[in-house]
Each structure stands twice: as structure tokens, then as C-alpha cells.
Amino acid sequence: MISLGLENVVVAETDLSLVDGLKGHLVYRNHWARDLAINNTFEEVAHLLWYGHLPSEQELADLNAKLVANRELPAHVKAVVDAMPDDMDMMEVLRTGVASLPLAGDTWPPTLDQIIYLTAKLPTIIAHRYARLNNREPVAPRTDLGHTANYLYMLKGEEPLTAHVRAFDAYLILTQEHGLNASTFTARVIASTRSDLVSSITGAIGALKGPLHGGAPSEVTEMIEAIGTKENAEPWIKAKLAAGERLMGFGHRIYRTTDPRAIALSKVASELTAEDKWFDLAVHVEQIALRLLKEHKPNRPLETNVEFYAAAVMRAIGLPDELFTPSFAVSRTVGWSAHVLEAAKGKIIRPQSNYTGTMPE
Ligand code: ACO
């Protein structure tokens, strides 16, 4: 029997997360992801996923120190990023920048030190490129700021507002890990061949880039802007669905109810954007879209997914569309690499296909 898209096929056991699509539950190692997003920091949750428990004060200080020490880019990586034509997509640049990162020593098996080294570098690659595109000198990373605050600082060239850091941290925590989504599966497939961590993360970035996966949030802002007014929401959405197009930010392979990350992020976004016309329109569009999607696919629950409100949060803290998916990669690197550690202990992933061609004479 063939399962197209590997739907409902279980291929691994994991300690990292539970995604319950019927109940709308997301658990990271015995903790509700939504609680972690409110009560913890990016580094604490990364520690939970990588080391198996939330850190003690000393463990957190050690992890922070290692991340900070690894933020700078080697000169050749800056040169690689600078050599890429301006019209190349930020995800293509990130993919290439990550691919050019050297791993010291043995590249197999993957280690936590390699993981920290790589995780620390992604924000710097993105900020370096973003500064160049805006004709600014790249801002050197700061050693006194946390992962999220430093990323925003390098992007904006000024210390970010605490409210923005908290909101962005919540987004980055809620998207660190999510079971065997397409990009995580890609990372695991590569790790299962005993290839190196850089290859796994490079491949995963390629998978995340697609609009059906991590590429959706910038298309959400495009949709809201194209709709423009509340009156236009219904005819615009109807026309799209009638043309057989998909609404970005809706539907999910696993969730048959609202994505719990969307619920948490809609709260974060509404706290940041009180009295905001764009957000008001986005909430209206969501309501109309949910109603029309029900009529369009009565037998297939199509609910709001994380990308809809990810777009709202990132827009509210002043990030342009081109940084949405790269920022997703910044957080998901944590989950990808935790899965790489698991997959490295497993069997090579090698499914089968049925040949539908003809046989030679
Ligand atoms: N808008 C309109 N119709 C949709 C949508 C949507 N957003 N999502 C699914 N459908 C329809 C499909 O066209 C399909 O109809 P059909 O049976 O007549 O062909 C039916 O619902 C089932 O869709 P599948 O593609 O089989 O569902 P699958 O589980 O494979 O896809 C996916 C999930 C890719 C997320 C899909 O819902 C989608 O394309 N959503 C829009 C893109 C998006 O928001 N992606 C972000 C997901 S979250 C993340 O990756 C972090």
C-alpha cells in the first residue's frame, strides 16, 4: 500500500515532542510548549530539547557563554554571503551560508558543541546579509544580549524594545520543535546516512523554504495586503478558492483543530498591536476564511495554522517579509539538530517506491 506524502506513516520514536492533531496539543519533553513560550527563554527551551531538561542557573550560564562565543562568522562565510547576487532570496543565501560553515574535527557523530556552534551562527548570517542589502555595515554581535535580543539588535542596529524581544522569543520558542514535519524529516534522513550536521541543517533549510511549509508567512502578509479592506475579504477569498488556490496560513497535515501555536501567537500579536488596522483586518480575514474553507471542504477541517499569526507577530515587531522564513529557520535549527542527535543513532532511512514504467524487452 502506498501512503502518498507519508501521511499517517510512523517512522520514528522521539522523546522531543508530541503533536496531537485532534486535541491541539503541543508538548516539548513533558512541558506544554505554550507555557514554555510565556515562562522561558529561547536558550532555556533549546537546553530542554538538546539536553533533556530545563537548565540550572549554571547550565544556562554555560550554554549562553557557548552561544555567545560562537556568534561571529568566519571571514570566508562573510565572503560567500557577500558574493551572492542581491536578487537572491534570503533563504537561498542562508542555505549557502550555512553550507559553507566548517565543522572542526570529526564530523561524525554530531555533537552538542557542533549544534551550539551552528545555532549561534544563523542569526549572524541573516543579519549580515540584511545589512548589506540595506547598504549598511553589518553590526557585530553583542556579547551581553540573549540569542533573540542579539538577533534583533543585529538586524535593526539598535537595542530592541523589551516587549519586542519577549514577543519574538515566544514565536521562536513555539517554532523550535514540531515532530516530523517536512524539514525535520529531511534533517533526519540526511543524518541517518551518517552525513554531517551542516549537511542536515542545509537540507532542512531547503525544505523549510517551500511555501507549503515555512515559506507561508510572507504569503500571509501578501494576502492581507492584496485584500486591503474588510469588504474585499469575502469576494477575494471566494475567487481564490474557486480558482483552486490555497489560502496561506490555513490547513495542516496533523492538526484537525486550530494549531495551538496560532492560538498562543494570536494572543502575543494582539498584545503588541492593539488598535492596529492591519491586525484588525487580519483577524477579520481569518474569520471569513475559516467560514469559506468550511464550505469549500466540508469533510476536511482546515483551521488556522502557526504561519498566520507568525506573520502578524513578525510584522508587529517591524521585521519585513523577507525575514519571516529565515527567522523560522533560526528557531527550528534547535529542533532539527535535536532530531539529528536521535536519528544519528538509528537506521538509514530508505523507503521504497513502486515502479510504474515499462520493462525493457
Ligand atoms: N486552502 C485551501 N484548500 C486547502 C488548504 C488551504 N490552505 N489546505 C488544504 N486544502 C485542500 C487541498 O486543496 C486538498 O483538497 P483536494 O482534496 O480537493 O485536493 C485538501 O484540502 C487536503 O489537502 P492536502 O494537501 O491533502 O493536505 P496536506 O495535509 O497534505 O497539506 C498543508 C497540509 C500543506 C499545510 C496544506 O494545508 C496547505 O497547503 N496549506 C497552505 C500552506 C500553509 O499555510 N503552510 C504552512 C503549514 S504550517 C508549517 O509548515 C509550519
The yes-or-no answer on residue 307 being catalytic is yes
CA 177 to ligand 1 center in whole angstroms: 20
Nearest CA to ligand 1 atom 31: 253
ipTM > 0.90, yes or no: yes
CA 152 to ligand 1 center in whole angstroms: 32
Does the pLDDT of residue 274 top 80, yes or no? no
Q: Is 280 exposed, middle or buried (0-12, 13-18, 19+ CB in 10 A)?
A: middle
Question: Does the Cβ of 179 fall within 6 Å of ligand 1?
Answer: no
Nearest CA to ligand 1 atom 27: 253
**How confident is residue 255, by pLDDT bands cut at 50, 70 and 90?**
very high
What pLDDT, on the 0 to 100 scale, is given for residue 155?
Answer: 98
State how far the Cα of 313 lies from the Cα of 43, in Å rounded to an integer: 20
CA 211 to ligand 1 center in whole angstroms: 11
* Closest approach atom of ligand 1 to CA 213: 50
The yes-or-no answer on residue 284 being catalytic is no
Residue from 91, 178, 212 to probe ligand 1 pocket by mutation (most atoms less than 8 Å from CB) = 212
CA 246 to ligand 1 center in whole angstroms: 7
* Cα angle 107-108-109, degrees, rounded to a multiple of 5: 130
* Active-site residue, selected from the candidate residues 47, 252, 286, 303: 252
State pLDDT tens for residues 58-101.
Answer: 999 999 999 999 999 999 999 999 999 999 999 999 999 999 99
What pLDDT, on the 0 to 100 scale, is given for residue 216?
Answer: 81
What pLDDT, on the 0 to 100 scale, is given for residue 338?
Answer: 98
What pLDDT, on the 0 to 100 scale, is given for residue 198?
Answer: 98
β-strand pairing of 31-32 with 17-20? unpaired
What's the mean pLDDT in 193-209? 98
Domains parsed from the chain with CATH numbers: 14-211+333-343 (1.10.580.10), 216-316 (1.10.230.10)
* C-beta of residue 50 within 8 angstroms of C-beta of residue 338: yes
How far is residue 305 from each of residues 21, 43, 247, 310, 336, measured CA to CA in Å?
A: 11, 25, 11, 9, 20
**How confident is residue 342, by pLDDT bands cut at 50, 70 and 90?**
very high
What pLDDT, on the 0 to 100 scale, is given for residue 275?
Answer: 79
Nearest CA to ligand 1 atom 47: 213
State how far the Cα of 173 lies from the Cα of 33, in Å rounded to an integer: 8
Residue from 172, 297, 313 to probe ligand 1 pocket by mutation (most atoms less than 8 Å from CB) = 297
What pLDDT, on the 0 to 100 scale, is given for residue 104?
Answer: 87
Question: Does the Cβ of 261 fall within 6 Å of ligand 1?
Answer: no
pTM of the model: 0.95
What's the mean pLDDT in 306-329? 94
What pLDDT, on the 0 to 100 scale, is given for residue 125?
Answer: 98
State how far the Cα of 252 lies from the Cα of 286, in Å rounded to an integer: 15
* Closest approach atom of ligand 1 to CA 306: 48
What's the mean pLDDT in 25-50? 97
Cell of 149: 535580543
Question: Does the Cβ of 226 fall within 6 Å of ligand 1?
Answer: no
What pLDDT, on the 0 to 100 scale, is given for residue 218?
Answer: 86
Question: Does the Cβ of 209 fall within 6 Å of ligand 1?
Answer: no
State pLDDT tens for residues 99-114.
Answer: 999 998 889 999 999 9
Mean pLDDT of the chain: 96
Residue from 300, 303, 307 to probe ligand 1 pocket by mutation (most atoms less than 8 Å from CB) = 300
CA 219 to ligand 1 center in whole angstroms: 14
What pLDDT, on the 0 to 100 scale, is given for residue 11?
Answer: 94
State how far the Cα of 276 lies from the Cα of 280, in Å rounded to an integer: 6
CA 80 to ligand 1 center in whole angstroms: 36
State how far the Cα of 103 lies from the Cα of 213, in Å rounded to an integer: 28
State pLDDT tens for residues 151-181.
Answer: 999 999 999 999 999 999 999 999 999 999 9
Does the pLDDT of residue 276 top 90, yes or no? no
CA 109 to ligand 1 center in whole angstroms: 36
Smallest CA-to-CA distance from 100 within 123, 124, 116, 76 is with 76
* Closest approach atom of ligand 1 to CA 293: 2
